[in-house]
Amino acid sequence: MRNPFGNGNDDDENQNMIPIPPNYATITKPETGEIRIAKVGFSFTSLLFNVWPSAFRGDWYNLLCMLGVQFALSMGLVMWSPIPLNQIEPMANWALGILWGFLYNMMYFKHKFNQGFVPADERSKQLLMQANYLKADK
């Protein structure tokens, strides 16, 4: 991944590479050369914006999974909760935001691995293995 801007501001350690924050991993699909860079760990964007980060990433599979869980939970709350919906909805939204914050980045990477993506470099591979997103090679 060479710096597409070519402005020469890269440090010697990255050898003309795009600087990537330490908690981001790079994955690539060898057949097509497609590259994805995403955060490993808690997703603050999913905490704040719920399912929208998956829509903006074009991650339709996980978007539909998340919407399905939210729909099922909403239906359960409407049917069985003795508390009025207008009182329980904000709590449910925050609970789901916290759930997606912890799970979404893992869901994204695991789905990409199922599509044939692999870590692009050793640093990304180690980061993904430490976060238990990727199993160690046998």
pTM over 0.85: no
In the chain, how many domains are there?
Answer: 1
Domain contains 94 = yes
* Residue range of the domain that includes 113: 24-130
Closest CA to 110 of 130, 122, 136, 128: 128
* 4 in any annotated domain: no
The answer to whether residue 84 sits within a structural domain is yes
Q: Taking a C-beta distance cutoff of 8 angstroms, is the pair 118, 32 a contact?
A: no
CA neighbor of 65 nearest in space, from 111, 109, 28, 101: 111
| Tens digits of residue pLDDT in 57-87 | 999 999 999 999 999 998 888 888 888 878 8
Q: What pLDDT, in 10s, does the model give residues 7-38?
A: 444 445 545 566 788 899 999 999 999 999 99
Tokens of residue 14, six digits: 């990255």
What's the mean pLDDT when you consider all of the chain?
86
Question: Can you tell me the mean pLDDT for 24-53?
Answer: 94
Q: Is the residue at 125 inside a domain?
A: yes
pLDDT of residue 82: 85
Strand, coil or helix: 39 = strand
Which amino acid makes up residue 4? P
Q: How many contiguous H segments (helices) and E segments (strands) does the chain have? A: 5, 3
Is the residue at 1 inside a domain?
no
